[in-house]
Structure 1
Amino acid sequence: MKVVNVVVLAAFLLLDCYYFLRILFVVLHAKLVAQRKSPLDVFVTRGVCLTTDLDCSCHMNNARYLRELDFARTHMLFSSGLWKTLKHLKAGVVVGSNTIRYRREINLFQLYNIHTQIKYWDEKSLYIEQRYINTKDKFVFAIAIICFRVLRSTPREVLREHGHISIDSPEMPEDIALFVKYNEASSAMLRSETKSE
């Protein structure tokens, strides 16, 4: 029994066990409970600000927003079946960049929904909008744009394989266009810095 206690204690000290347990719960819920939807639909996940989410100002820590968005994207990938399609194609996805704008703090025990939706794609990436929305008055606490880079495939190929034949991307929203432009400028700047070293 002592060995088990030591192993459990060591696991919680050395690994972010809560993260892995939460991911497991999200995946199981998405596969077994969640309604099957198109990957282009809006996916809603529910959340609450707990004591473990707080910063020194007693509202949700900025880093926790991004962590919760990660769980919401995982839910979207599995409940839509997109993860299965990616694995079939031997493809993957990784966050290439993101931006988030905080509009109002989320306080202790505040309930919220996260709305996750693919808004646009190009030859390399899916662009996902995620919104924290107050469950009471529908106020948007925060809004994020995520560049989800598709590895070893293309967004069009993934969506076609998933059943969306010859699908074209919606028109690029203005905020995503500015986000893409910023990323391009940042990449150009960093490349020029590397050449000058």
Structure 2
Amino acid sequence: MTRMLQLAWTGIFPRKQVTGRSLLDPSVYTMRVLPQDLDLLMHVNNGSYLQLMDVARFRHVAEMGGAALGREKEFGAVVAASTMKYRRSLKLFDRFQLTTRVLGWDERCFYMEQVFTRREKLCARGIVATRFLHSRTNDRLAPATIVGWLAEAHGLASPPESPALPDDVAAWARVIGVAPRAQADA
């Protein structure tokens, strides 16, 4: 419940934009495992990882100016798909870092990587495909539109191009069907 409150707080009162933070810059959020994050085996529950990732993504978007832009242009993000790989357990009161970064985008989705580390050791890695929807009409907004608005808000002459997606992420997107249809059918 506390993570849901943290997520609500982050959404209602987003973090201020970090000057100079661009779309492709990673953000690092230091957190601590709380009792409500645990399962019966006394390590972070798989569902709790997803909630922690939600909080970190909201923070990441706010730091690049996306929260204010979303209110102005009336759009919000939804998760289209996600996948996780768990490597080491996080236990009660462990302090850890959650690094969020945009890997790239295509005609349909943004692809983000979220990495949990503790003492510089990998604990878990999540990949998230995100879509943006208009708040009133629920129409999907193309990632190029969002990137263009962010570039304009940052005073850039032209929007950046998407980096090439890592092979594992591009393959995952095709297999689960969030990649553009032409790529998914190829």
TM range (shorter): 0.7 to 0.9
Identity across matched positions, percent:
28
Whichever of the two has the greater Rg, that structure is: 1
TM value normalised by structure 1: 0.76
Q: 1:101 to 1:178 in 2, by over 3 A?
A: same
Partner residue, 2:124: 142
Contact preservation (8 Å) 2:18, 2:65: no
Contact preservation (8 Å) 1:89, 1:153: no
| Partner SS for 1:162 | helix
Alignment gaps of 5+ in structure 2:
134-139, 182-186
Q: Deviations over 1:103-162 (max 9, x none)?
A: 01101111100000000100111000000011x2x1110000000012232111111111
Partner residue, 1:109: 93
Partner residue, 1:170: 163
1:35 aligns with 2:28: no
1:88 aligns with 2:72: yes
TM-fit CA distance, 1:90: 2.9
Partner residue, 2:145: 157
TM value normalised by structure 2: 0.81
Q: Deviations over 1:40-64 (max 9, x none)?
A: 2101111111111111111111111
Report the residue type matching 1:44 in the other structure. Answer: V
Instruction: Please identify which structure carries the higher helix content.
Output: 1
Flag as ranges the 4+ runs of structure 1 deviating above 2 A. 18-21, 23-29, 83-92
| Partner SS for 2:15 | helix
Q: Deviations over 1:70-122 (max 9, x none)?
A: 00001011121112223333333210000000001101111100000000100
* Structure 2 Cα separation of the partners of residues 182 and 62 of structure 1: 22
Q: 1:22 to 1:84 in 2, by over 3 A?
A: same
Partner residue, 1:184: 177
Q: How does 1:58-69 map to 2 (within 5 A)?
A: 58-69=42-53
Alignment gaps of 5+ in structure 1:
1-15, 189-197
Contact preservation (8 Å) 1:97, 1:146: yes
* Aligned-CA RMSD value: 2.1
Contact preservation (8 Å) 1:30, 1:79: yes
Paired residues, number: 166
Contact preservation (8 Å) 2:32, 2:95: yes
Report the residue type matching 1:35 in the other structure. Answer: V
